[in-house]
Amino acid sequence: MTTTSPYSSTSTSTSTPPRSRFQWRVIDIVVASVIGVASGLIFVVWNIASSPVTAPLQALLPGLQALGGGFWLFAGVLTALVIRKPGAAIYGEMVAASVSALIGNQWGALTLVSGFTQGLGAEIVFAAFLYANWRVSGAVVAGAGAGLAMAITDLVLWYPGSALPFIVIYTIAAVIGGMLIAGVLSWLATRGLAATGALNRFGAGREIAKRV
Amino acid sequence: MIPIASVNPVAKLGAGLLVSVFLIATIDWVSATTALVLELVVIAFMGIEPKRFWLRTLPVWVAAPLTALTILLYGRYDGEVYFQFLLIRISDGSIELALATFLRVLAIGLPAVVLFISIDPTDFADGLAQRLRLPDRFVLGALAAVRMVGLFLDDWRSLELARRARGVADRGRIRRIAGQGFALLVLSIRRGSKLSIAMEARGFGGDTPRTWARESRWGTAEWLTLVVGVVIGVTATVVAVLTGSWNPIVG
């Protein structure tokens, strides 16, 4: 198993100066897009399934349905964990939101606003860790950031008439859902992907390769 | 008949956003109803087949009453309280807010679906990169991925057949779908990696300035689309302010 990608060795041998670890290679862009689009298709399924699935939660405690909102938050965290570049969380979440909006959903053009804020929530956390924490702790905090961003966006855009208990429960549920689904699940998925060898040309894959 | 299909996708997206901005600023039934009526008039002239219209807008019709129900049960209370159970409190205030929410979701969701069904991803990418000047590497990378959706579906079918042949297809449906989804993600990342090498081999992502095979046009029709969006939003706001029901969400 090689530890340097054939790509980076050819690009540094040409006239271009060596790349910084924060620059996007073509493979980063294409694979981030693939992850974004695949996540967008999952969003489309969840757009329709979420209401009936989370209805019992809502009946249990109003606002608890935001737990399931985590399934709209994982795209940004997952993309960032795989690609490890600045802007990856925003980009992944935006591509997924665009797919969701173009196929058609109840939030219309505002899907893109949600996608941006949710991606930004995760991005700010990864940036605060100086794009150096890709462990489970970073993933969970980023998921919480995305969840908080989702709660703020949803409460302002869609539930402006709600009462205080609903606001509090919705926010807490969104953060927990973000931590578990967007954080832990994305981290597990990244580790699984790395173990298959599909990420050998990414930092996320090389780490695992060294350990084996 | 309005030839909406040929309008630049960026303009359609812009019009959808412009209407939404006016509608989310307030929560009242007057502005939402005004916008909804105007939108339905415009949509009626777009010549969409009724079957296609209902099928594509179905998620909006499902979501609108559910969102309204949430507000009805847990909305801010005001006036007479009709029913109370734990955190549920149905009052004059929450009924009015729920009605406004219902109409607002329809007024934001319906035009977006109708505008977006005619968007071709390639035209959209051309518009984003050439008109909005978004970074072309990212826009075209995303387009390449969107165009792989057809392959995703083929892969999904092959995976299903392979599992059936191995005799592991019929039990544990939810677990199987999760496992198959993961396998699909692995396949698509591998394919994406290969695709990126092919793209680079053809000079994608190089230093030379990019030229475009298809020019993304922007003319009167595009400006008109944006103007219609603004007019609907402004009319809804003015009517609501004049009738005294405009109710801003902040403050």
The ipTM assigned to this model is 0.89
Q: What pLDDT, in 10s, does the model give residues A23-73? A: 999 999 999 999 999 999 999 888 888 878 887 887 778 888 899 999 999
Q: Whole-number mean pLDDT of chain B?
A: 90
B88-91 and B81-85 as β-strands: parallel, antiparallel, unpaired?
A: antiparallel
Contact flag A26-B196 (C-beta cutoff 8 Å): yes
* Structural tokens at position A53: 């699935």
pLDDT value of residue A11:
43
Q: Does A98 touch chain B (CB under 8 A)?
A: yes
* Closest-CA distance of chain A to residue B107, Å: 10
* Closest-CA distance of chain A to residue B117, Å: 7
Q: What separation, in Å, do the N-terminal and C-terminal C-alpha atoms of chain B show?
A: 42
In B, which residues are within 8 Å of A101 by CB distance? 112, 116
Dist CA B227 CA A209 (whole Å): 56
CA distances to A107, B65, B177 from B52, in Å = 19, 21, 29
What confidence category does residue B157 fall into, taking pLDDT thresholds of 50, 70 and 90?
very high
pLDDT value of residue A55:
79
Q: Does A194 touch chain B (CB under 8 A)?
A: no
- Domains of chain A (ranges; CATH) run 25-192 (1.10.1760)
Percent of chain A with pLDDT over 70: 90
Dist CA B47 CA B4 (whole Å): 9
CB A186 within 8 A of CB A139: yes
Reduce the DSSP state of residue A25 to 3 states and report it: coil
Percent of chain B with pLDDT over 70: 99
In B, which residues are within 8 Å of A92 by CB distance? none
In B, which residues are within 8 Å of A110 by CB distance? 17, 20, 24, 108
* Structural tokens at position A66: 């935001």
Q: What is the DSSP string of B161-215?
A: HHHHHTT-SSS-HHHHHHHHHHHHHHHHHHHHHHHHHHHHHTTTT-SSPP--SS-
Contacts of A76 (CB under 8 A, 6+ apart): A88, A89, A90, A92, A93, A96, A118, A119, A121, A122, A123, A142, A146, A182
pLDDT value of residue A5:
47
Dist CA B32 CA B30 (whole Å): 5
In A, which residues are within 8 Å of B27 by CB distance? 160-161
Nearest Cα residue in chain A from B19: A109
Look up residue A128 and give its amino acid.
Answer: A
pLDDT value of residue A1:
44
Dist CA B153 CA B158 (whole Å): 9
Closest residue to B145, CB basis, from A33, A82, A109: A33
| Global pTM value | 0.89
CB A125 within 8 A of CB A142: yes
* Structural tokens at position A202: 């990414």
Of the candidates A21, A19, A16, which has an alpha carbon nearest to the alpha carbon of residue A203?
A21
Percent of chain B with pLDDT over 90: 56
CB B25 within 8 A of CB A14: no
Cα B200 off chain centre by: 32
Contact flag A105-B197 (C-beta cutoff 8 Å): no
Reduce the DSSP state of residue B83 to 3 states and report it: strand
In B, which residues are within 8 Å of A43 by CB distance? none
